Amino acid sequence: MSATVALPEASGGAAESAPGPRRSPGSGLLRYIGIRFLLIIPTVWILTTLVFFLMRITGDPITAALGGRLTQAQLAERIEAAGYDRPLLVQYFEYMGGLLRGDFGTAISDGRPVSRILLQHGAATLELAFYAVLVALLIGVPLGMLAARLRDRWPDAVLRILAILGYATPVFFAGLVLKLIFGAFWPVLPVSGRGSSTTELVMSGVVAPTGIYAVDALRIGNMPVFSDVIAHAVLPAIALGLLTGGTFLRLVRTNLIGTLESQYVESGRSRGVSEFRLVTRHALRPALIPIITVMGMQVAMLLAGAILTETTFEWNGLGYQLSEYLKARDFVAVQGIVVLLAVIVAVTNFVVDIIAVLIDPRVRY
């Protein structure tokens, strides 16, 4: 998260992960992509191993979930049935083997396979994250350009303070304020869930659903349901989007200031290129590389934010499920969700590194 500002460590990024002299383009690029792809494996492996052993230090998941509710004998019986009495290493290899086959185990509290939880609720989180990024881009990029152009004048000062406020406001507090305003004082928007009960009913009847409500509503051509889905998404998307939007604003501003002072922008200005075009074309393009790199790093923050936003708005995605399973102390389900989110972050970082290389041939690989 700290990558929101140009930290010294952030510059290491892509170049450091695959050291080596620069090779000819073409074969070198493919080689880089290959090496970078292979680097996902140790990352994911370390994280899953870490999570597995950390979660087991405290004991077996059965006792954690059901301890106190069952007798000692019943607990022992269930622990034996689930295989948690075997050596930890055996369990570890079994779990890793399961992961490779896409088997994340079975939730203790409700007996659902964790992989099904992930599939069922992952789409909801994806939908929320998409809306939030949309909001963040709409807020962050134009305002960041404005702040950079009017640097050190009052609009810049106001925008910078707003951006810092956006970062300083926890996403769940922003959500609570939105709920207070649009749910209690001026009730115009729904403040919880992904849709009204009618919508949920319609959605449960969709054949081969994508799980993304807006897409499903469009596919069955049900416009009232579609608008209901969008109405439910407005507040969560704004809450989560404000957080990321503030970061985008600062990012665009910082990087644009760098390029706006370069000589080619100055020469463009002397040739009579309009200020608008100077900012949106000449200066923005070269500023995009660091912007995209850091935006990629925001995925981790976006996911953490999604967990909190979903809890605030009862948006039934992975984050909401995570906090429900945390409450139920069902650590098998928690572990599955955590591992999946880690994989998503690792893969996104890979994609971002590749995009950075494709945009700027000067990036060393």
Closest CA to 329 of 89, 102, 118, 60: 60
Q: Which is nearer to other proteins, 225 or 284 (CB)?
A: 284
Q: Which is nearer to other proteins, 202 or 299 (CB)?
A: 299
Q: How far is the CB of 206 from other proteins (least distance, A)?
A: 29
Which residues of the shown chain bind other proteins in the complex (CB under 8 A)?
A: 1-2, 5-9, 12, 17, 42-43, 46-47, 50-51, 54-55, 57-59, 64, 152, 157, 160-161, 164-165, 167-170, 172-173, 176-177, 179-180, 183-185, 191-192, 254, 257-258, 261, 300-301, 303-304, 307-308, 311-312, 322-323, 326-327, 329, 331, 334, 338, 341-342, 345-346, 349
Q: Identify whether the C-beta of residue 78 lies closer than 8 Å to the C-beta of residue 106.
A: no
Q: Identify whether the C-beta of residue 211 lies closer than 8 Å to the C-beta of residue 124.
A: yes
Q: Tell me the Cα Rg of the chain.
A: 24
Q: Which is nearer to other proteins, 109 or 222 (CB)?
A: 109
Q: Which is nearer to other proteins, 81 or 180 (CB)?
A: 180
Calculate the alpha carbon distances from 157 to 20, 84, 160, 212, 274 in Å. 43, 58, 5, 39, 24
Q: How far is the CB of 228 from other proteins (least distance, A)?
A: 19
Angle CA 227–311–251, to nearest 5: 80
Could you say which DSSP state residue 18 is in? Answer: S
Question: Please, which residues have CB within 8 angstroms of residue 204's CB and are 6 or more apart in sequence?
Answer: none
Q: How far is the CB of 359 from other proteins (least distance, A)?
A: 20
* Count of all residues that appear for the chain in the document: 365
Q: Which is nearer to other proteins, 173 or 210 (CB)?
A: 173
Q: How far is the CB of 167 from other proteins (least distance, A)?
A: 6
Q: How far is the CB of 273 from other proteins (least distance, A)?
A: 16
